[in-house]
């Protein structure tokens, strides 16, 4: 086990020191299904339910932003059946979200290159964008990374900045961290204080490469479909025990 805390105290969360932004690499759906002799797609279905549960929990806990890695720029390497099943699940989730976001006061944003996403899904995402714009800035915000890669996000941002320079809207010497952040998919969203990766893998897999500069990492062996509220508590409690120095000395 690589869980860093165990025992009774493991999940004691101090609600006055919550991370504003939690990011999760939703990994382990395939292995969860395989263990049960089910097709990988059954794992994705179970994983989608876990997302629903964890988003609700984070919102109720008082976290402001939850960013989840749903489909990477590398995940197109998978079979057509698997990719199709993931897109179908997303479609179903978006249809539900369109009906419930306003009632539940949940803002929904997409990070990633949406140009390669099936057109129907893209137009549903435009609908959720519109609803999000109407919801107040203080509402809980879920960011779904779809056809997302950290390197791709950086390249798209660099391209847009260069285009603004060519158009005379910007000067190269104006570029600093704040300006560049404004060109990223995550513009306006604070960097995640905590990044969680379930399923025992100890890597980033191209997730939030710019934004993770000073994130705290939490890894657990639990597979994403088995992930629950107590796991969030354990991750937050572990985060709250970390000594965050940001390069300084205490």
Exposure letters 67-91 (e unless 16+ CB within 10 A, then b): bbbbbbbebeeeeeebeebbbebbe
By CB under 5 A, residue 152 contacts Mg ion: no
- List, edge to edge, every strand of the sheet that includes 21-25: 106-111, 140-148, 65-72, 21-25, 194-197, 216-219
Q: Which of residues 86-115 bind ligand IPE (CB under 6 A)?
A: 86
Asked whether position 27 contacts Mg ion by CB under 5 A, the answer is yes
CA–CA gap between residue 216 and residue 17 (Å, rounded): 14
Which residues, in sequence order, are bridge partners of residue 143? 67, 109
Under the criterion CB under 6 A, does residue 205 sit at the interface with ligand IPE? Answer: yes
- When the beta carbons of 19 and 47 are compared against Mg ion, the nearer one is 47
Please identify which of the residues 3, 75, 104, 233 carries the catalytic annotation: 75
- Looking at 27, 152, 185, 191, which residue is catalytic? 27
Q: Side-chain half-sphere of 22: how many Cα atoms within 13 Å?
A: 29
Stretch that binds ligand IPE, among 97-105, 128-136, 157-165, 199-207 (CB under 6 A): 199-207
d(CA 216, CA 211): 11
23 binds ligand IPE (CB under 6 A): no
Is residue 185 a contact point for Mg ion (CB under 5 A)? no
Q: Using the rule CB under 6 A, is 39 a contact of ligand IPE? A: no
Query: So which residues are the catalytic ones?
Result: 27, 75
Which parts of this chain interact with ligand IPE (CB under 6 A)? 25-31, 69-72, 74-75, 86, 199, 201, 203, 205
């Amino acid at each position: 086990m690589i869980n860093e805390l165990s025992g009774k105290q493991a999940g004691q969360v101090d609600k006055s020191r919550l991370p504003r932004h939690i990011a999760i690499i939703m990994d382990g759906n395939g292995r969860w299904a395989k263990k049960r002799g089910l097709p990988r797609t059954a794992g994705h279905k179970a994983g989608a339910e876990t997302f629903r549960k964890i988003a609700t929990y984070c919102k109720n806990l008082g976290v402001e932003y939850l960013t989840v890695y749903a489909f990477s720029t590398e995940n197109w390497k998978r079979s057509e059946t698997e990719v199709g099943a993931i897109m179908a699940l997303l479609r179903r989730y978006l249809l539900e979200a369109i009906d419930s976001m306003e009632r539940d006061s949940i803002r929904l944003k997409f990070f990633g290159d949406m140009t390669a996403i099936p057109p129907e899904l893209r137009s549903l995402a435009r609908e959720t964008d519109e609803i999000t714009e109407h919801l107040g800035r203080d509402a809980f915000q879920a960011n779904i990374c779809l056809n997302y890669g950290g390197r791709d996000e950086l390249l798209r941002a660099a391209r847009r900045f260069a285009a603004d320079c060519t158009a005379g809207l910007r000067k190269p010497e104006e570029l600093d961290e704040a300006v560049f952040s404004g060109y990223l998919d995550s513009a306006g969203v604070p960097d995640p204080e905590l990044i969680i990766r379930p399923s025992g893998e100890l890597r980033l897999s191209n997730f939030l490469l710019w934004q993770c500069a000073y994130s705290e990492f939490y890894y657990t062996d639990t597979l994403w479909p088995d992930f629950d509220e107590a796991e969030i508590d354990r991750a937050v409690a572990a985060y709250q025990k970390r000594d965050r120095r940001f390069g300084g000395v205490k």
